[in-house]
Structure 1
Amino acid sequence: MTPPLLSPHDLAVALELRDLSDPVGGPHAVQALLDDVLAALTGAWGCSLDVQRRRPLVSVEDNYDRLGYAAADTTRDARYSRYAAETVMLRSHTTAGVPPALRALARAGNAGTEVDVLLALPGLCHRRDAIDRLHVGTPHQVDLWRLTTVGSVGRRLDVGDLRQMVELVVGAVLPGARWRTSPARHPYTTAGLQVDVCTAAGWVELAECGLAAGHVLAGAGLDPDRCTGLALGMGLDRALMLRKGIPDIRVLRSTEPRIAEQLLDLRPWRPVSSQPPVRRDLSIVTDAPVDAELLGDAVRSSLGPAVEDLEAVTVLSSTGYTDLPDTARRRLGLRRDQVNVLLRLVLRPLAGTLTDRRANELRDQVYAAVHRGPHREWATR
């Protein structure tokens, strides 16, 4: 069955979004951080470097099938993935660029040549995520895959090499930070690990990694008996926020001069906005079941450019038809297949102030987009 597809407008907006990791759009601290990581790895290993910037539109096969995701995996659902066509999607992770990169390596004839290369695939990803100060639906990621032939290093890469890779990456992102690993499962690696770093706020996930799975190498035309690899994926937004001490992910795209000038280097963040948050709670009617990610998408779309003022969206409660008194059902015009949701918006501009009237206008924009009941309650009308 064909999944729900992005509208032409939403697809165009996604494709026009600036990739902060790409120097073509101008300098950004994300690039400086990535350069530090790449320099640390290639300097320690003495390997070649191949940075590939691939288009965000990818085949579903490369994003899921060739990496070993099962056909029934929840992540494929349109609630989480953004489809442009039945077989084409906006990549949900930069790992989608790995299968074509490996195929190109195989076509180049490297099966008969000794190889030791670091593949770096940075870029924007597109997925549905929570809306808060640490998450966004279009995060920047980088996949780092070291591919070697056994003859080039004299042996197969192993878990010891993987731990060295983690040490180098953590040292480049957060010099001197303590780190730990825990087992993690990825369909495209073996001996998978999650990497956490110790911060003032506690332990925070930085990356995930593992040994490159043989089925991924073989599927690209490489000989897994001769080719071996390490794989690490990291969120560049989170890494930069940890490095600079940035508390709000919206900061990374701000064009406000006092903020933008701080996003050209890796020096510690100097707070700019001290505005208090403005909260607006909405009682809405929506179809069951409630999906926080889809609601979040609708909220983002409804605000347009003003989405920069949105700090968080939280579903405070969700009450079904049978759990509401009859008076409340009549007041809301609630159908049996609908629910009453209490939705909280937290608005806080990164710079400037937000008046009550403007907050109410934004509240009404969101309300008009997400409320599905026959009766409406406006703040400004």
Structure 2
Amino acid sequence: MTHADYLTPDQLCRALALRDLTDPAQGEHAMQTLLDAVVAPLERTWGSTIRYVRSSPIVSVAANYDRLGYDPDDVTRARRYTRYISPTVMLRSHMSAELPTALEAYAGHAGIDELIVAPGLVYRRDVVDRSHVGEPHQVDLWRIRSAGDTRDEDMLGMIEELVEAVLPCAERRITMAEHPYTVGGRQIDVRHEGEWLELAECGRIHPEVLRGCGLDPERWSGLALGMGLERALMLRKGIPDIRYLRACDPRIAAQMLTLDTWRHVSPLPPARRDISVVVATEEDEETLGDRVRTVLGDDAEMIETVEVLGRTAHEELPEAARSRLRTQPGQANLLLRIILRPIDQTLTADQANAIRNTIYRALHDGPVMELI
């Protein structure tokens, strides 16, 4: 990787300044109430002790990938998915990165049955729409036992407790899934408004992960579950837009303090801008979304969606279009639709055009500029 592949100091500072909605020390939020509702029944059922883990989101690449069993050439390590700070340090991409260090504390102990609760922000490169952000919240729930007999039945019981806590009586579907740090992995989906949505993934802790933390897998075992908290909270309350979770509008912010069902708030009118940009062929909605969030900074909250309406590779463009756009092999022409809809203000046409131009300059890699 080159220097350009790493976060700049400004990007890192902005990421670290973001409020963690799971942390009571940073203010009250319904996400904390939901997390408590998930942990409490597991504590009652198992009689486990509870240990909360909260650490800096800056982690080693080894903790985020190597110690959890990811292959050296795993696609998730690529810069397009990972926010690297240096060759060996990154912003964690999942809360599981906290668990190898947490597990090391149990070496040499006995009589352990503990639920490790690791909530916090993780950092991704993701699409821009009403259900995704670049810095989502996750929680990892790992039950660690000084006994080697944790079974699939224990995992399935954990799944039932979780679904009932998040979405009581919801129809659920459990399918097999693979994770490098678990065995017998499962994916948990719930049915919401006629659509199956992923809620969480889990499995039994992989013996090699335990061994790498100084725990003999013949004598230690446990369960590992990870869940996205934005989606869980939005499903629980019926929230239609992920940006509402951080909104300052009093009509919205007051609703983010409880698990009560969402009460409709009239949205402001949208402004639509369609743009045609030239990009590298490997660019997709995730990497484009990350570039949009980076260039707009705090103003990214004004964007409701960025959608790819069409993609045409250089080789597939008519000769007249190639000449006009001056595309090159390895590039593609994308038609993007940008929907601007701030939560708490109405944009003027000039403001919408300025944001459109900022996005255009950030994404367009061609020599011919079309600004308004």
- TM tier, smaller: over 0.9
> Could you say which residue in structure 2 is the equivalent of 1:311?
304
> Could you say which residue in structure 2 is the equivalent of 1:290?
283
Distance in 2 (alpha carbons) for counterparts of 1:47 and 1:83: 36
For the aligned residue pairs, the C-alpha RMSD in angstroms reads: 1.5
Residue number among 114, 137, 141 corresponding to 1:140 in the alignment: 137
Aligned AA for 1:132? D
After the TM superposition, which parts of structure 1 deviate over 4 Å for at least 4 consecutive aligned residues? Answer: none
> Could you say which residue in structure 1 is the equivalent of 2:217?
224
> Could you say which residue in structure 2 is the equivalent of 1:236?
229
Shift of 1:35: 0.8
Residue number among 156, 160, 163 corresponding to 2:153 in the alignment: 160
Aligned AA for 1:267? D
**What is the DSSP-based 3-state SS (H/G/I as helix, E as strand, rest coil) of the residue aligned with 1:230?**
strand
Alignment of structure 1 residues 127-276 onto 2, 5 Å:
127-150=124-147, 156-276=149-269
**What is the DSSP-based 3-state SS (H/G/I as helix, E as strand, rest coil) of the residue aligned with 1:346?**
strand
Aligned AA for 2:47? G
**What is the DSSP-based 3-state SS (H/G/I as helix, E as strand, rest coil) of the residue aligned with 1:259?**
helix
**What is the DSSP-based 3-state SS (H/G/I as helix, E as strand, rest coil) of the residue aligned with 1:169?**
helix
Distance in 1 (alpha carbons) for counterparts of 2:197 and 2:14: 31
Shift of 1:123: 0.4
Bigger shift: 53-62 or 349-358? 349-358
Alignment of structure 1 residues 82-121 onto 2, 5 Å:
82-106=83-107, 109-110=108-109, 113-121=110-118
| Residues matched between the structures, number | 371
Shift of 1:2: 6.2
Contact map agreement 1:303 1:365 (CA 8 A) in 2 = yes
Matching of residue 300 in structure 1 with residue 301 in structure 2? no
> Could you say which residue in structure 1 is the equivalent of 2:33?
32
Contact map agreement 1:318 1:341 (CA 8 A) in 2 = yes
Contact map agreement 2:277 2:334 (CA 8 A) in 1 = yes
Aligned AA for 1:268? T
Contact map agreement 1:272 1:351 (CA 8 A) in 2 = no
Aligned AA for 2:71? A
Distance in 1 (alpha carbons) for counterparts of 2:124 and 2:86: 15
Aligned AA for 2:122? C
Once the two structures are superposed, residues 148-174 of structure 1 have per-residue CA deviations (whole angstroms, 9 ceiling, x without a partner) of 112xxxx71101111110111111111
Residue number among 117, 124, 128 corresponding to 2:121 in the alignment: 124
Aligned AA for 1:157? T
**What is the DSSP-based 3-state SS (H/G/I as helix, E as strand, rest coil) of the residue aligned with 1:83?**
coil
Bigger shift: 308-317 or 40-49? 308-317
Alignment of structure 1 residues 36-47 onto 2, 5 Å:
36-47=37-48
Distance in 2 (alpha carbons) for counterparts of 1:140 and 1:290: 25
* Unaligned segments of structure 2, at least 5 residues: none
TM-score (norm 1): 0.94
TM-score (norm 2): 0.96
> Could you say which residue in structure 1 is the equivalent of 2:370?
377
Once the two structures are superposed, residues 244-266 of structure 1 have per-residue CA deviations (whole angstroms, 9 ceiling, x without a partner) of 00011111111111111110111
Contact map agreement 2:127 2:287 (CA 8 A) in 1 = no
> Could you say which residue in structure 1 is the equivalent of 2:9?
8
Contact map agreement 1:281 1:343 (CA 8 A) in 2 = yes
Distance in 2 (alpha carbons) for counterparts of 1:203 and 1:325: 40
Distance in 2 (alpha carbons) for counterparts of 1:147 and 1:376: 57
Contact map agreement 2:325 2:366 (CA 8 A) in 1 = yes
Shift of 1:212: 0.8
Aligned AA for 1:34? L
Aligned AA for 2:132? H
* Unaligned segments of structure 1, at least 5 residues: none
Structure 1 residues 197, 287: CA separation in 2 closer, same or farther (over 3 Å shift)? closer
Shift of 1:94: 0.1
Bigger shift: 332-341 or 135-144? 332-341
Structure 1 residues 336, 200: CA separation in 2 closer, same or farther (over 3 Å shift)? closer
Once the two structures are superposed, residues 88-109 of structure 1 have per-residue CA deviations (whole angstroms, 9 ceiling, x without a partner) of 1100000000100011222xx3
Distance in 2 (alpha carbons) for counterparts of 1:238 and 1:321: 38
> Could you say which residue in structure 2 is the equivalent of 1:348?
341
Aligned AA for 1:9? D
Contact map agreement 2:38 2:162 (CA 8 A) in 1 = yes
**What is the DSSP-based 3-state SS (H/G/I as helix, E as strand, rest coil) of the residue aligned with 1:70?**
coil
Structure 1 residues 176, 156: CA separation in 2 closer, same or farther (over 3 Å shift)? same
Aligned AA for 2:203? G
> Could you say which residue in structure 2 is the equivalent of 1:76?
77
Distance in 2 (alpha carbons) for counterparts of 1:373 and 1:304: 23
Aligned AA for 2:360? Y
